[in-house]
Amino acid sequence: MKLNIIAFGIPLFIGLIYIEYLIIKRKKLNYSNLHESINNISIGIAERLCDVLVTGLFYLIYDSIQKKYGIFNIKPSVFLWILLLLATDFIWYWYHRLAHEMNVLWALHVVHHQSEDFNFTVSARITVLQAVARTGFWCVLPLIGFPAPMITGMLLVHGLYPFFVHTRLVGKLGILEYLFVTPSHHRVHHASNEQYLDKNYGDVFIIWDKLFGTFKKEDEEPVYGLTHPLKTYSFLWQHFHYFIEMAIAMKQEPTLKSKLKLLFGRPDALDPTARAKAEAIFHIKQNKSTIEKPLNNYVVWQMILLLVGLFAFILTEHYLSVGTIIAFTTFTLLTLINCGAIMEQKRWIYNVEFLRVFSLLAIAFQFHNYAIIITVLSIVAIAACIYYRPVQNRYLSLVYRYQQ
For residue 213, pLDDT over 90 is answered with: yes
3-state secondary structure of 192: coil
Model confidence at 288, in pLDDT bands (50, 70, 90)? low
Please give the mean pLDDT across all residues of the chain. 89
Burial of residue 68, with CB atoms counted within 10 A of its CB: 0-12 exposed, 13-18 middle, 19 or more buried: exposed
Distances (CA, A) of 155 to 122, 136, 201, 229, 366: 19, 13, 17, 31, 34
pLDDT of residue 194: 94
| Residue from 87, 113, 84, 126 nearest 208 by CA | 87
Are 167 and 186 in contact by the 8 Å Cβ rule? The answer is no
pLDDT of residue 22: 96
Q: Where in the chain are the domains?
A: 5-212, 235-282, 293-403
- Show Cβ contacts of residue 316 under 8 Å, excluding neighbours closer than 6 positions: 3, 4
Model confidence at 377, in pLDDT bands (50, 70, 90)? low
- Segment 58-74 shows an average pLDDT of 94
pLDDT of residue 292: 63
Cα separation, 245 vs 255, in Å, equals: 18
Cα separation, 191 vs 181, in Å, equals: 15
Which pTM was predicted? 0.89
pLDDT of residue 56: 83
pLDDT in tens, 124-136: 999 888 888 999 9
- Show Cβ contacts of residue 94 under 8 Å, excluding neighbours closer than 6 positions: 137
pLDDT in tens, 114-173: 999 999 999 999 988 888 899 999 999 999 999 999 999 999 999 999 999 999 999 999
3-state secondary structure of 248: helix
Model confidence at 402, in pLDDT bands (50, 70, 90)? very low
Model confidence at 368, in pLDDT bands (50, 70, 90)? low
Lowest-pLDDT choice from 234-238, 254-258, 395-399: 395-399
Distances (CA, A) of 307 to 49, 235, 358, 367: 10, 17, 20, 21
Model confidence at 400, in pLDDT bands (50, 70, 90)? low
| Residue from 70, 96, 9, 69 nearest 45 by CA | 9
Structure-derived torsion over alpha carbons of residues 164, 166, 170, 175, reported in degrees to the nearest 10? 70
3-state secondary structure of 337: helix
Model confidence at 404, in pLDDT bands (50, 70, 90)? very low
Number of H helices, E strands in the chain: 17, 0
CA angle at 380 for the pair 375 and 383, rounded to the nearest 5°: 120
